[in-house]
Structure 1
Amino acid sequence: MIAVILAGGKGTRLGLDDLPKPMVSVAGKPLLEHQLLLLKRYGINQVIMLTGYLSEKIEGYFGNGSQWDMQVSYCREDIPLGTSGALKQLEPSLKERFLVLYGDVVMDFDIKRFQDFDRQAPSLGSLIVHPNDHPYDSDLVEREGDLITRFISKPHPEGLLYENLVNAAVYILSPKIFKYIKSDISSDFGKDIFPLVLDHGERLRAYNTPEYIKDLGTPDRLHKVEKDYSSGKVANWNRGNKRPAIFLDRDGVINREVDNLRRVEDFEILPGVSDAIRRINQSEYLAVVVTNQPGIAKGFLSIEKLKEVHKLLETSLGQEKAFLNQIYFCPHHPEKGFEGEVAELKISCDCRKPEIGMILKAKAEYNIDLSKSFFIGDTTTDIRTAKNAGLTSVLVETGYAGKDKRYDVTPDFVAPGLGHAVNWILSNNKNSK
């Protein structure tokens, strides 16, 4: 597979007067060199760099790539044509699916896993997406399953509720993409080409990953990236490495307990929750919700309405610079006899807590180390789930506060609320039991 790196940025906000943005030094190397080394690690040795501003600086440093045992060539952009407009020049050279990276993005991700995902189903392209801590000023993606249905460019419509999924600017594309890109006309993938592709009935797939992929467009972000490199966070977040998680029940832990929540307007996030989840995001832990939602099987709440509730949750957290890596829910309920119940969901299953199906799914999808992970819940069902999965359990005294008494279990720790629970985990455990 050939990799194309869009390397024409100026870096004005970084104060780079004599360097193109992709040549900014990060942990002692130009950012572009980090990208080349990542590609080489996964067996991608042929790279085309689309250069523009001060292109001679890039070409002079990397040459033909032989110093890295790679083949590097260049296509110089004399007039800026946007992210996709610039790529049009390479149409004669790209006859098979190719990888696109943006040269101003710091990244360390498992390229093989991304390639495997791309091969699973036919599409015009696969895009890496992820939640971030500033979705309110990011270009967002909507999806059904792994199929992208809509791109929402910033600024967003007023009052929009959204799933916090951001276009991470890493793509695998079919050469068929070129028929949607006009020559010598400035265009952008996210704002112009990808929406056009969807309008023509083409399939674009979303690959959601928690790996380290961050734009360093400002001095503050550059400083943070440097810190993350030195701490090992950039490399450690690669999906090839196991990561610990903090699993969270939803009702009574994140939001006020409402018996059989039926309306979006009854959903209320508890005080201090956004701050607690933000601190999880800043740690090595993934923040993963696993919640039983039997109201769906009982006919009290549709899956579409549940999605609206979760969009409200993610939008509210995003406004406070916090995010969830994933929300898993079980829609089943084994007991029959509810008016309007959904018959096919009235079953016993392996995902309804205290069964651990949702946790095992998260483990497989995110390569989670359960031995170093935690579960925070408000019921004895949650504590039983934690013990079934081999997780350290924390009971919070919000919601049911363990008074459901369904199981005779003792939590490993009791905290007044989510904030105290997260404090205990981060202060005393250092990612290990």
Structure 2
Amino acid sequence: MKAVIMAGGKGTRLGQRTLDLPKPLVPVNGKPVLEHQIDNFARYGITEIWVVIGHLGEQIEQHLGDGSQYGVSIRYIREDRPLGTAGALHGMQETLGESFVLAYGDVVFDVNLGQMIDYHLAHHWLGTLAVHPNNHPYDSDVLKVGVDGTVQAIYPKNEKRDFDYRNCVNAGLFVLRSSLIAAIAPDAKQDLEKDVLTHLIAEGAIGAYKTTEYMKDMGTPDRFDKVQAHMEQGVVHAKNLSQKQKAIFLDRDGTINRYVGLVTNPDALELETFVIDALKRINDSSFLCIVVTNQPVVARNLCTEEEVDRIHDRMETLLGNEGAYVDDILYCPHHPDRGYPEENKAYKIACSCRKPGIGMVLEAAGRYNIDLSASYFIGDTTVDIQTGYNAQTTTILVGTGLGGSDDKYAIGPDYTAQHLLEAVDGILSGAFQPRSERKYVEHS
């Protein structure tokens, strides 16, 4: 498979960081963004790369040469005038083969491309977009994705949103079938998302590859500084899914949002104190942040799964507006006890996903290659502590919500904290050691 890098941007938002450099040559941790991208491509056997150049493109061509110093072959598409993120692809259908990878030149990423390509080839879509949550969804293109992975809508970053939405952002990395190029007009400036993908989304021809791997643009000074820090700390490569991941599993009610009993509509969801700061610290670390929650409101017929999704839309919107996110949300809609007149019998079943069962934890572990012995489970009930213990994670009981007063299980946590922020600080500081690093583990 071949790759295309869109490297023609001027980088005006970076200001003095670019000086007389084209944006894709700005060094991150001592190496230009383009070299980081080429290294990732080469690692997965993608050695034929086309680089689209425009503004100060001669510097890029001079720096990269023919690519032999990186173990790849590089050719160039020189734009005499800017053609946008799609226009330069016109006429390259036969050159690029059946499918190709495309990346924006200002995105720092470290992704298991073999896994992403396999996912793309297993589906019928013309294009597969790498998507993830980020800390600025309010000024990003956000996608609505169906349960089968098909992209149903795109909410552009420059349009006002007066509704709740899932933090699912187009990351600037794609696998595209070359037949898609037929939708690109000749010799015309076109935006890949607005002028090409939006129309194909309406036809159900575009899919989403959701991943927790590192993909961040460095197009503003603040974002550049964050990417630089993450590169120095080893966070970027640590999140490649070819490597074992560490996760912090979080209960929802009483841990993230205030405990008010069963939440049956978005208006009832209010974030706990210190949650934003806690999640931001997880987001800046090498840990994944995954919500695992029982939601028997569905089995009790108090709301539908679609309504639970809308509650989670509200939660992700509230978090995203403050620059925080969770990597994934898994919930169990079941309840084992039958016999109530108003119940939804289809969900009144004994299952492996309802906590303290570990079905949701195992699903996440399989999806994201998680080492459970290096991971944590944080919640406000003994049900959460029992779940974490059953999954062989390190458990932390927080004093918010029920604060362990449910007394459903006679089990003590590995650690306690007043609230989520204190728990996260204990993990990141090393004060709360994971099970994998403790020689002796005992639960009271």
Task: Give the TM-score, by structure 2 length.
Answer: 0.94
Which residue is 1:4 aligned to? 4
Residue 148 (1) aligns with residue 151 (2): yes
8 Å CA contact 1:81–1:187 kept in 2: the answer is yes
Which residue is 2:70 aligned to? 68
SS in 1 for 2:179: helix
8 Å CA contact 2:251–2:380 kept in 1: the answer is yes
Which residue is 2:191 aligned to? 188
Q: How does 1:9-28 map to 2 (within 5 A)?
A: 9-14=9-14, 15=16, 16-28=18-30
Which residue is 1:363 aligned to? 365
Cα deviations by residue, 1:272-315 (Å, 9 ceiling, x for unpaired): 21111111111221111000011101111111111111011000
SS in 2 for 1:154: coil
In the alignment, structure 2 segments of 5+ residues that lack a partner are: 439-444
Give the total of aligned pairs: 432
SS in 1 for 2:409: coil
Equivalent residue in structure 2 for 1:348, among 346, 350, 355 = 350
Which residue is 2:249 aligned to? 247
Q: How does 1:267-278 map to 2 (within 5 A)?
A: 267-278=269-280
8 Å CA contact 1:256–1:267 kept in 2: the answer is yes
Distance in 2 of aligned mates of 1:407 and 1:430? 23
Distance in 2 of aligned mates of 1:172 and 1:388? 39
8 Å CA contact 2:385–2:396 kept in 1: the answer is yes
Equivalent residue in structure 2 for 1:167, among 165, 170, 174 = 170
User: What do you get for the CA RMSD once the two structures are aligned?
Assistant: 1.5
- More off after superposition, 96-105 vs 10-19: 10-19
Which residue is 1:396 aligned to? 398
Which residue is 1:123 aligned to? 125
SS in 2 for 1:383: helix
Distance in 2 of aligned mates of 1:417 and 1:19? 46
Change (3 A) 1:256 1:226: closer
Residue 52 (1) aligns with residue 54 (2): yes
Cα deviations by residue, 1:238-273 (Å, 9 ceiling, x for unpaired): 111112111111011111223222222111111221
8 Å CA contact 1:299–1:339 kept in 2: the answer is no
Distance in 2 of aligned mates of 1:128 and 1:149? 15
Distance in 2 of aligned mates of 1:272 and 1:28? 35
In the alignment, structure 1 segments of 5+ residues that lack a partner are: none
- More off after superposition, 395-404 vs 102-111: 395-404
SS in 2 for 1:295: coil
Percent identity between matched residues is 45
8 Å CA contact 2:279–2:325 kept in 1: the answer is yes
> 1:223: how far off?
2.6
SS in 1 for 2:154: strand
> 1:20: how far off?
1.4
Task: Give the TM-score, by structure 1 length.
Answer: 0.96
8 Å CA contact 1:31–1:104 kept in 2: the answer is yes
8 Å CA contact 2:230–2:284 kept in 1: the answer is no
> 1:420: how far off?
1.8
Distance in 2 of aligned mates of 1:197 and 1:136? 24
8 Å CA contact 1:124–1:202 kept in 2: the answer is no
> 1:177: how far off?
0.9
Cα deviations by residue, 1:194-237 (Å, 9 ceiling, x for unpaired): 111122x2421111111111111123322322222222111111
Distance in 2 of aligned mates of 1:424 and 1:346? 38
Change (3 A) 1:158 1:170: closer
> 1:430: how far off?
6.7
Distance in 1 of aligned mates of 2:69 and 2:263? 61
